[in-house]
Amino acid sequence: MKRTHTCSQLRDTDIDQEVVLMGWVQHRRDHGGVVFIDLRDKNGITQIVFNPVISGNVHGKAQELRNEYVIGIRGKVAARPGDMRNPNMETGAIEILVEELKIFSQAKTPAFQIDERVDASETVRLQYRYLDLRRPQLKKNILDRHKATMAIRNYLDNNGFIDIETPFLTKSTPEGARDYLVPSRVNQGEFYALPQSPQLFKQLLMIAGFERYYQIVRCFRDEDLRADRQPEFTQIDMELSFVDEHEIMKIAEEMIRNLFKQVLGSDLALSFPQITYDEAIDRFGLDRPDLRFGLELCNVSDIVKDAGFKVFANMVKNGGLVKAINAKGCANFTRKQIDELTAFTSIYKAKGLAWIKIKEDQWQSPIAKFFTDDEKNALAQRLDLEPGDIVFFVADQPKITNEALGQLRNELGRRLELISDDVFEFIWVTQFPLFDYDETEKRYHSPHHPFTAPLETDIDKLTTAPLEIKSRAYDLVLNGIEIGGGSIRIHDTKLQEKVFNCLGIDNEEAQEKFGFLLEALASGAPPHGGIAFGLDRLMMILCKEDSIRNVIAFPKTQKATCLLTDAPSKAAPAQLQELAIKVSKIEG
């Protein structure tokens, strides 16, 4: 028996053909006489019919069939009688009159129904992932992911990028995320680290002269999980020589546009808007603004700096920041809703959420009485206050004010249903700070990574004002989620050493940890830069999913376990002995 067609192919133009289909029993409808079965394969579903008039033998055997049995059938394509056609099925005009049935394998009753209309908990879905992958939603996501990676490979190949593999068993790098370690048997007591990204290798490939590199590559970070974070995830990793940030962004845009065209058939704008980090923080409070709705933040520190409301005034005097959001037309928020929003902002360390409801004749608010008429007028003008509005204020240290109010903006967007997942709003965020200051460790720190180039105009601030230096780094943000980021790298040994020094890494330590990179940079390094996209996050948005688990074939749970294979698990004593590893339980 040799398959002639898939279960999505046959139409009423194929009537009277003799065909062989193979697949899974999606559903069985036994009428005692005639038996209908929906046969499912990767591509679709076709109804097959067992009729005792055609073959009593085969009809009898069909009694054995149950859901998810795997079968092959030979039969003739027949038109369905006019009113028996199913307009909801692609193949609804025809059916197969079965003449021969082969049962390839029987199937236990599945743990959950293979039907998108029936829910199953994530626990049981992960445990029987191969069953969940049979269902339309996950199957479509995985197929779309394939389309996306094909679009990426085609685009990059057509533009001179070389796919080069880099090691998984590599060296632990300081800074950054916690590493996954792999013990070395041959070198007892020593460990490889799985790469958090191929960052240094792709720079070495530029120094090696490949000029354009890409890789769709697994990366590993041993940090706590989130809906959009798995311990192993996939990057579309790219690096280019002899280019500046504008060229890299242009190529990245074209690649993304190509991908959306191939996967969704939709046309994105020819270029994506750009915003500096400082402006993003100022207007949206976050470095990953969701542009699908307005509700921008408004700085009112100058207006309230002398106000009778001391919480605001003192905050400004002590270097704090007072910002506000006008939620247009939401003066009907209840006390309960306001309390919920207050609790929401407290997650992000805001000490309070002040509010004013704008009524026709007055301001209703616990704090309105503290403002002079001049201050009220200034606020009304700055915030475009009109009757029916409610305005929310956060007064705190700048980092907290921006974070809390930025998150509140997103929450309001969700609550007011201003956000559609049918819309794709891209934006580049540029000129990130080169350093931030780690209060606990009392030292500078790279928000991106220590190989990021500073703006040329800021280089002389390395010794005078490191925190004011802007970098040649850029992130691509889609619907409020960072889907990619990169930078122009430092290709000059001297500059790289200066940056290390700023980070508190002296020459000796730099030699020990990054000596191979410094050596390479000193061996003829072209100007270069690159970008890496989170494929899982990109697919999550494209597939309108809430979690990257739904675009990964075999994801892990929040405790980084695999419910299907039961990984991780204990190692056999002999394995540990070979590795010279002794496991001791660490007491809490």
Partner RNA sequence: GGGGGUGUAGUUCAGUUUGGUUAGAACGCUUGCCUGUCACGCAAGAGGUCGCGAGUUCGAGUCUCGUCACUCCCGCCA
> Interface residues for RNA in 532-561 (CB under 7 A)?
546-547, 549, 557-559, 561
The edge-to-edge listing of strands for the beta sheet with 354-358 is 298-299, 321-327, 390-396, 354-358, 363-364
Please give the Cα distance from 391 to 375 (Å, whole number). Answer: 15
Stretch of 1-9, 114-122, 256-264, 509-517 contacting RNA, by CB under 7 A: 114-122
**Binders of RNA in range 145-184 (CB under 7 A):** 173, 175-178
> Per-residue x/- mask for RNA, residues 475 to 494, rule CB under 7 A?
--------------------
Question: What letter does residue 317 receive in the DSSP assignment?
Answer: H
Question: In sequence order, which residues have a C-beta less than 8 Å from that of residue 535 and are 6 or more positions away?
Answer: 145, 148, 149, 216, 233, 234, 235, 236
Task: State which residue, 197 or 301, has the beta carbon closest to RNA.
Answer: 197
- Cβ proximity to RNA: between 151 and 450 the closer is 450
Of 92, 97, 87, the residue nearest 45 (C-alpha) = 92
Query: DSSP assignment, residue 447?
Result: S
Among 225, 416, 518, 571, binds RNA (CB under 7 A): 225
Residues 331-350 binding RNA (CB under 7 A) are 347-348
Nearer to RNA, 196 or 241 (CB): 196
The Cα–Cα gap between 414 and 416 comes to 6
Q: Which is nearer to RNA, 447 or 527 (CB)?
A: 447
Question: How many residues form the binding site for RNA (CB under 7 A)?
Answer: 73
Interactions with RNA, residue window 186-205 (CB under 7 A):
196-197, 199
Site for RNA in 353-412 (CB under 7 A): none
Angle between helices 535-542 and 136-158 (to 10 degrees): 120
- Taking residues 428 to 457 in sequence order and writing x for each that binds RNA by CB under 7 A, - otherwise, the string is -----------------xxxxxx-------
Residue 13's contacts (CB-CB under 8 Å, 6 or more residues apart) are: none
| Residue 439 C-beta: closest distance to RNA, Å | 9
Residue 265 CB burial class (10 angstroms; 0-12, 13-18, ≥19):
exposed
CB-based burial, 553-587: b 16+ in 10 Å, e otherwise = eebbeeebebbeeeeeeeeeeeeeeebeeeeeeee
Cβ–Cβ under 8 Å, residues 525 and 491 = yes
Nearer to RNA, 264 or 419 (CB): 419
| Contact residues for 272 (Cβ-Cβ < 8 A; gap 6+) | 249, 253, 426, 427, 428, 476
Nearer to RNA, 65 or 307 (CB): 65
Q: Output 112 or 191, the one with its CB closest to RNA.
A: 112
Listed ranges 8-16, 89-97, 306-314, 364-372: which one lies at the site for RNA (CB under 7 A): 89-97
- Please, which of residues 19-78 interact with RNA by CB under 7 A? 27, 29-34, 36, 38, 47, 49, 51-53, 66-67
Binding range to RNA, per CB under 7 A, among 88-96, 253-261, 332-340, 356-364? 88-96
Q: Which of 44, 72, 92, 398 is close enough to bind RNA by CB under 7 A?
A: 92
Q: Of the two residues 383 and 538, which places its CB atom closer to RNA in the complex?
A: 538
The CA R_g of the chain, rounded to the nearest whole Å, is 30
